[in-house]
Chains A and B, each alone.
Chain A
């Protein structure tokens, strides 16, 4: 069974940093593109970042302006999102999502349960 489990969310002050993790199981992690998608309270879905299976291709939403860094460790079946210079508008549930991407971006076929990040003083 495919499972994606996010961790690392919590309360952080504006300007602070946080690192999210996503532990994958039930599939061959190293062969899939992975993504982070966020959802602010009461709002719609917003794609954050994508990383290809071998980390060769990495993309970010323009709105992040270099504050976030996506990475992965295929040996540990894990996806990460380092978030710096956090702002109130980054408050959201952050989902990790799998993309078969063979090799073009395809769809998000599995999602984690989400990790809540709250940026507030």
Chain B
């Protein structure tokens, strides 16, 4: 199992707001910044959010991130069909001296 815990699935209807959680510990999320990746079917992952809440150029402002203590969240507002993908949180772990990923959350747009 993954060091970071994400719900395996999430869903919403077009236009809705959904959130995906990512739970870690004091050696990772508690002391380092969290990144989020979106992986569309059959493609490589894409950076969605970095440094807890920063969006790379080109990422719509419908996507936002936050962090509190040893947990982080990704929020998607105004859900669209093209948002259907797998979402992963990631953070550097100071105890493991390596990156750790969440198990991934499959988002379904109903």
Residues of A within 8 A of B (CB): 35, 37, 44-47, 50, 59-62, 95, 104-109, 111-114
Contact = CB atoms under 8 A, between A and B. Distances in A.
Contacts of A60: 98
B24 interface: no
B104 A44 contact: yes
A113 B44 contact: yes
Interface in B59-107: 86, 88, 90, 92, 96-104
Contacts of B88: 44-45
Contacts of A109: 47, 50, 56
B51 A112 contact: no
Contacts of B98: 47, 50, 59-62
Interface residues of B, number: 26
Interface of B: 2, 32-33, 35, 37, 39, 44-47, 50-51, 56, 86, 88, 90, 92, 96-104
Given A44-B2, A95-B45, A109-B47, 12 more contacts: A44-B86, A44-B101, A45-B39, A45-B101, A45-B104, A47-B99, A50-B98, A60-B98, A107-B50, A108-B35, A108-B90, A112-B44
Contact of B45 (A59, A104, A106, A111): A111
A107 B45 contact: no
16 contacts: A37-B45, A37-B99, A44-B2, A44-B88, A45-B101, A50-B99, A59-B98, A95-B44, A105-B92, A107-B50, A108-B45, A109-B47, A109-B56, A111-B45, A113-B44, A114-B44
A10 B32 CA distance: 36
A47 B47 contact: no
A95 B104 CA distance: 17
A10 B37 CA distance: 26
B99 A105 contact: yes
A2 B99 CA distance: 23
B103 to A, nearest CB: 5
